[in-house]
Amino acid sequence: MDREDQRRYFVVGSVILEVVTPLFQQKIENEYKTGGFGSFPAFMNSQPVIHTLFHLRHRNSLCCKDKAKCRNHAALPLVYCQWKKMFSENPGPGIHNCHCKFTANPVQLNELDISLSSLILLNCCNLSQPEAEAVQLLRQNKNDYLSHNTTGCITQTEYNTLWSDLVTCVLRLDPSKYDSLIKIEHRPLDKSLCKKYFTFLLDLHQQIEEIKSTMENVHSSIQAVSSSITGLHSSVEAAVQGMDTTVIEMNTTVQGMGNSIQGIETSVQQTNDLLKELLQKGWTCECGRQIIIPIFKDQPRKHRKQYQIGQNIFYIRQKLFLQSLFNYEDLRWIPDVNMMDDGTLMFCLPFEYRILICNTDGSQTDNIYVEGEPWCVTAVNNSTVAVLVNTLYIYIIPCIEIYDITNKHKLNCILIPGLEIHGGISMMNNKLVVSCGCRLLIVDHKTGETEQTIETDCIPNSIHATGDRIFFCDRSITDQTMTLKMYSFSDNKVYIRTLSSSPSRITSLQDGSLYVLCNDGSIHHVSYDFKHRKKVKINNIEDLKGNSTVSYNTKQNKMVVYTRGNILSILHEKQ
């Protein structure tokens, strides 16, 4: 490493941290004092400022005030950690998904880095065109030469043009800074201070991506070991008679491999926690984004009950005749039913604009009234559900609405252009999975951000996510196809399985295998690895018809099957 290259990096970093950042902060202070605000938080709480910044963080939102000034930006330069640093959501239900739900935090100006302060200057302050160009160029130079510079060096060629730009832009904003720039230009290298500045200036995004790639390889190794364990268990079961010693040795091997998996998963979890902490502290520039390293805890393990494909697993414990439950002479279609972890049932009633919460004995408990037609529902956690809704405004627009089922109020509304209302909705690693055109989207239910897009070459329907896989049906062509599809995160591929009829609903069991309901009334049991399938019968009855739903709850060990004849069957798992 050339010492002079390192010194040039130190000089440029010193200008950014010691001159440019305080200068940006001073410009913001002059702005809010000139505007008559007594403090920086008061300035941030003013309607024009919070409204502008809200739309730099949120897409597809209309505010209850100043709708004419709402903007839908193609890019969202204000990242989540910056928004969270500046604003907090007001407690209480609220009726609007807009800036009026937020209040500025008591943040001090000296807590703003160059990235955040430049966003505020460029979007919320009165700058002349030359000043705005100077702020933009200084911000860009910081990103180009420091944020992604993992060497801590700047060459003479880069420095020749960079230094000239720095001096020009700084003096355009404040001519009195000339002496400060000259002193810094001739500053000798201070290695300890340079190391500290390197930590402040480096964008961790690139390093996190490298760690992410490594951890994905770890997940692939975990899956390979899991497959080996499954194979060893099969061998153990086949060798039980007359081979006690061999069985003991093989079980010891399996136990050792299982312990190795647990150790790897612990390391993955610790790495994931560290990355989240770094990102939440805002140690990234404006191009940083939260990197998700999924911890696939739903993978089959040797302590999970393993089902034989096609075996009779469930028995019908009770039936509910929904016509009497809802007191309708002619009950209309119910597109989705799900069981919560506490055993209560969630019915989508699109023609009644509500979600019905019901006990398994048929006693009604409550309603969540929806601003539109609810078509699909999934549990986010024990007190929150996500609903696919056709909103009833001037135009019918599909959206995702998040509801608190305890207080019966809406927490969030997520608008996604092209969202498929009949595609289904599922949860995976605390993120929503939905269908949008020929893509699967991974969406943060809190922020509404789309964190990953997966191309599928078809319109995914009846989405169901489990472990590191997303299962869906293919309804992208006129004739319903008889294919079940699976996207695997481990190798980023889509797999296809042909069934005897068009699949319509999917649910997963304790061991990760699937029950797939088809339009001809049959139920197919499909193995977790997608290699084996077999039709199953429940109590020797196969009277399920099209437009039926099926849903299994792993906490309750119960499955719910709703048929077009308005009969809800609750099935218990055999012991």
What is the DSSP secondary-structure string of 389-428?
EEEESSSEEEEEEEEETTTTEEEEEE--TTB-TTS-EEEE
pLDDT given at position 315: 81
The second-level CATH assignment, the architecture, of 314-573 is: 7 Propeller (2.130)
Domain spans in the chain, listed from the N-terminal domain onward = 3-201, 205-280, 314-573
User: Each residue of 97-122: pLDDT tens digit?
Assistant: 676 778 888 888 888 888 889 999 99
Residue 547 to residue 334: CA distance in whole angstroms: 9
Selected residue with higher pLDDT from 478 and 386: 386
40 closest CA partner among 119, 110, 139, 131? 110
568: left (phi over 0), alpha (psi -120 to 50) or beta: beta
What is the pLDDT confidence band of residue 489, given thresholds at 50, 70 and 90?
A: confident
Least confident range of 3-17, 274-288, 368-382: 274-288
**Does residue 350 or residue 244 have the better pLDDT?**
350
Report the distance separating Cα 245 and Cα 232, nearest Å. 15
Residue 137 has phi, psi (to 5 degrees) of -70, -40
Q: State residue 451's pLDDT score.
A: 86
**How far apart (Å, rounded) are the C-alpha atoms in residues 113 and 169?**
18
Give the chain's mean pLDDT.
78
In this prediction, residue 30 carries a pLDDT of 92
pLDDT higher at 192 or 362: 192
**Res. 499: pLDDT tops 90:** no
pLDDT above 90 for 23: yes
Q: Tokens representing 566?
A: 């308005």
Rounded CA-CA distance 517/504 in Å is 6
Q: What DSSP character marks residue 359?
A: -
Q: Report whether pLDDT(211) > 80.
A: no
State the DSSP string of 57-116: H-SS---SS-GGG----SS--S-HHHHHHHEEEPSS--S-SSGGGEEE----GGG--HHH
pLDDT number for residue 298 = 43
pLDDT in tens, 290-316: 333 444 444 444 445 678 888 888 888
**Over the stretch 346-398, which tens digit does the pLDDT of each residue have?**
988 888 888 988 888 777 778 898 888 899 999 998 889 999 998 865 557 88
pTM of the model: 0.52
Strand ranges across the sheet with 384-392: 372-381, 384-392, 396-404, 409-414
- 332-341 in b/e form (b: 16+ CB < 10 A) is eebbbbbbbe
